[in-house]
Structure formats: structure tokens, C-alpha cells
Amino acid sequence: MPAQTEHTVDPERLIGVLDQPLFQAAERVAARMGVKAYAIGGYVRDLLLGRPCKDIDIVTEGDGIAFAEAVAKELDAGHVHVFKNFGTAMFMLGDVQVEFVGARKESYSRNSRKPEVVPGTIRDDQERRDFTINALAISLNAEDRSALIDPFNGVHDLERGIIRTPLAPDVTFSDDPLRMLRAIRFATQLGFFIDAPTFKAIQRNAERLDIISAERIHTELNKIILAKVPSIGFKLLLDSGLLVRFFPEMIELLGAEEKHGIGHKDNFYHTLQVLDNVAEKSDDLWLRWAAILHDIAKPKTKRFEPGHGWTFHGHEDKGARMVPGIFRRMKLPLDEQMRFVKKMVLLHLRPIALTKDIVTDSAVRRLLFDAGDDIDALMILCQADITSKNEAKKKRYLANYEVVMEKLKEVEEKDRVRNFQPPITGEDIMQAFNIKPCKKIGDIKTVIKDAILDGKIHNDKAAAWPVMLEEGAKLGLTVVEGMEVPPISGSSEEVGSQES
Ligand code: ATP
Ligand code: MG
């Protein structure tokens, strides 16, 4: 855990901020309506920490919706979105989202899971927040304007970097078990330490996460994954007993077996290392997901082969096939993001395999063809996957990785296979042999594509034409007279670029 004294909390940061029109309008409306209003929660926390914050929460000891509408009117703000069921309302102020709620008391009945919400005081509202650092409020009222209302020593916890619940942790967590996941999310994002009694309560209550929807879980999980060092969160998820509740496949990666004195690496910690490595290079959530899932099928494909050691044959293929099931269960998107992750998992060994061998042009060309526009992402994953503890081995792989990168550039410039367009179309083939659509056309196209990818010919019409004729002849097709040479139209420019 990072040093706990790193976090400087500067109350000076509050001064000036409260002069902004939003807070002045809130103060006027509060005075007029005879209610109290406060800025509260994440906004105050981030303000004190000097972190950027894009949403502001305002709580009033009164009707939150009516309050929001009055403030919006004062500011000439746009449309107010009202969520009657939740008693909340929000509007946008530039790119800042401002949310209003009436202070409330809340208690969940264990049986119904439905919270009973009744109006309350600011103190009640602060008590039902998740952590002391998220329960801080600033007064927007004339009599104690800009006073920090901190009944649970949240500022102290901010300074020390501590995540702690305002009430007894068992109470806070059983009211809303998602808060256990949020504790880990904040610890990961902020580099904070979860207070021991709070962490023990998470371990005790971990099973209660089962009542939380997959959507709420993946929202927090994705925030952990997007943190600067996501492994911090996954280690806490593991130790707390939360991870197994919603991601058992990852738990399976844990452990290193040994047979006849031969071990294999612990794939859980290897995966976390790869994830952190990717996180250093890319903020793409889905590439980070690919890192998490790249070895997910290793436990299912693990074999000990005498004389050879541990193998995980086909784990990339099986892993790719596990992706949809995992995404579906977690209610993650099932369209192009999922297809991207699947593709990354399937291809993740390809560049690595190249770095182990002599790198041939045709292997590089095939890789480019299969990865297409995702080649850069795949290469990030590939480099991140080089985690060998053997420094010499690691150095060799990394050097080869550079060779592959060079080759990729060279081959792409020469052969343009990244977004492969067949140089000869089905239409060309039908005309050349005077045939109707049939399977032979596809066969000829495949032979041409393979010839290009294998480096036998260049990717252009003039080079591919003889291959088409030869393959056609093999298939018993006769060429139309005058078609023995490629048609001039559309091919002149390609012929010109053939010399390389
Ligand atoms: P961020 O916006 O960076 O995700 P945040 O702390 O602002 O962090 P939000 O989810 O926006 O988190 O919630 C705003 C505030 O609402 C929190 O700071 C906290 O006070 C309160 N809050 C949110 N979710 C919960 C919850 N499940 N239980 C209790 N309080 C919560
Ligand atoms: Mg927020």
C-alpha cells in the first residue's frame, strides 16, 4: 500500500470554489425556501484532494426535486431531469452534472431488500453514505457558509488515506452490499488503505454481494480496471472473498502446481502483471479486459506431458470461446467490444510465437491479415505478456518483439495486408472464365490470398492474374479469349508499384 501520509488535504481549496454561480444560486434558493442545502459526497472529497470532478451532488433538508427546479430557474439552466422514484433531479451546467436529492434516512429490511426511505436531516444523510471520505458536506447556508460538516472524521481519513465506513461496517455493508466493492474501487483509484475492521467486515459479508445486479457490479469493476494500477484492486478482491462471487474463472488461475520438480507460473499473478503492463500503455477498457482474459482457459487446458513439462495447448482458442459466456453473465456489452476482446484472446500468442522463432515475412503478413486494424492493440498485449522472471529470456523476447514491430511496418508498407482487399474480385473471375457464381470462385480467391500472404506474389492485379489463370485451368475452366493478360483499366497504377 502507498504511504498513507501522501494525501494533502487543503481546506484553502474550498475558498473561492463556493463563489461559483451554482452555489450562490443554491444559497439564495435555500434562504427563500427556508431549508438547508449542502454540497456533499465525492465532489467534496475530490475538491479537498485536488482531483478533477465532473459531477456535483447537492443535498437539501427538504424536497430535492423542487429545490433542483428552483436552482435551475435561477441559473437559466436547461432541462431538469426528474427521477421521481428516487426523489432526485439533475441538470447539466456546461459539462458538469449537478444532482439534487432531499436528505434522507434509510433502512433496509433484510427480507424485502427494498429500502424504506424517509426524509431526514443532513446528519441522517451522511450516516447512510458509504465511507467517511464520501460523507463530507459543505454548508451552502448563509449562517455557516462554507463550513465543512464532518461528523465522522472524514478529513482525517482523507489525510491518512483510509477507507472506513461511517457506521459499524456490518450495518453499512448489509444495507447495500455493493459498498464492499466500492471500498475496493476507492482504495484502488485513490491508493488508499482499507481500515482493518472495515476489511474484515467485507470478508464476513462477501456472500451478500450475490444480491447485487451484474450491472452495478461491472460498473465498479470497470472503474477498478481503469485505475492506474488495477492489480491493487484485484488482489483486494481476491483477499476479501468478493472476486469468487462474480468471477470464479479468475480464481481458477490461482496457484502453481509442481510435478517431478517442474512447476509452472501462477497464472493469476501473471495475469495481473500483464494487466498492469497494458494499463501503463493504454487506457482502453477493452484491451485491459483482454489482458484479464488472455489466459483464462489455462486451467481448463493444463496438461503435464512427461519429458516436456506443463502445456496449455489451445488455451487461446478455448479462452476466446469462453469470452461470450463471461460477458453475458456480467452483463457487459455483447457487440463489437466483446468481439474485440475475443479476437485479442484468440490472437494473443501469435506475436509471442513470432518473437520466439526466426521472424519470416509471411508469418508477419498472416498476422497483419488476421489482426487487421487491431494490430497495434494486439502488439501492446503481446509486449505486456512478456513477464518471464528469467531476465535473459525476457531480454531476448523483448529484442525479438522489436524485430517483429519493424517487420510489421516494413511488410505493411510493401503489401498493404492490414485491410486486405483482394486484388482480383469475384466479378473479375466470372468475366475471365465466363462462369456464373459458384464455389470455384471462392477457391480461386483463397489461392490468390494465400499466395500473397505467403509472399509468393505482390498484392496487385498484375501479379495475381497469372495465379488466377493457373488455378482456373486446374479447376477445368477455360479463359475467355483476350483475357490472358489483366485488363488495363484499374490495374495500371498497381503494375507501376510492383517493383519492390
Ligand atoms: P465517482 O464519481 O468518482 O465514481 P463518487 O464518490 O462521486 O465517485 P458516486 O457513485 O458518484 O461516487 O456517488 C456520489 C456520492 O454518493 C458518494 O460520494 C457517496 O457519498 C454516495 N454514494 C454513492 N453510492 C453509494 C452507495 N452505494 N452507498 C452509499 N453512498 C453512496
Ligand atoms: Mg460522483
pLDDT over 70 at 494, yes or no: no
Question: How many Cα atoms within 13 Å fall on the side-chain side of residue 240?
Answer: 33
Residue 483, classified by CB atoms within 10 Å of its CB into exposed (0-12), middle (13-18) or buried (19+), is middle
Q: What is the Cα–Cα distance from 411 to 365, expressed in whole angstroms?
A: 7
Mean pLDDT computed over 455-467: 90
For residue 182, which atom of ligand 1 is closest to its CA?
27
- Measured CA to CA, the distance from residue 355 to residue 358 in angstroms comes to 7
179 pocket-lining for ligand 1 (C-beta < 6 Å): yes
Q: Which of 106, 134, 172 has most ligand 1 atoms within 8 Å of its beta carbon, as the pocket-test mutant?
A: 134
For 37-60, what is the mean pLDDT? 92
> pLDDT at position 495, please?
36
The finding on whether 41 has its CB within 6 A of some atom of ligand 1 is: yes
In the chain, what are the domain boundaries? 11-164, 170-246, 263-415, 426-496
pLDDT of residue 233: 98
pLDDT of residue 308: 84
pLDDT in tens, 318-334: 999 999 999 999 999 99
Distance CA 43, CA 244 (A): 32
- Report the distance separating Cα 338 and Cα 330, nearest Å: 12
Confidence of residue 154 (pLDDT cuts 50, 70, 90): very high
In angstroms, the CA 248 to CA 60 distance is 42
134 lines ligand 1 (CB under 6 A): yes
Across the chain, mean pLDDT equals 90
Partner residues linked to 102 by β-bridges: 60
Q: Which three cell numbers stand for residue 283?
A: 487506457
What does CATH list as the number for 11-164? 3.30.460.10
Q: Hey, whose CA ends up nearest to atom 16 of ligand 1? A: 41
Task: For domain 170-246, give the CATH number.
Answer: 1.10.110.30
Strand partners, 304: 310
Q: How many CB atoms are closer than 10 A to CB 303?
A: 10
Look at residue 356 in the predicted model and tell me its pLDDT: 67
Looking at the CA of 46, name the nearest ligand: 1
Residue-wise pLDDT for 432-453, tens only, equals 999 999 999 999 999 999 998 8
Give me the pLDDT at residue 493, please.
Answer: 41
pLDDT digits (tens, 9 = 90+) for 187-244: 999 999 999 999 999 999 999 999 999 999 999 999 999 999 999 999 999 999 999 9
What pLDDT score was predicted for residue 361? Answer: 82
Interatomic CA distance for residues 440 and 417, integer angstroms = 23
- pLDDT at residue 489, rounded to an integer: 53
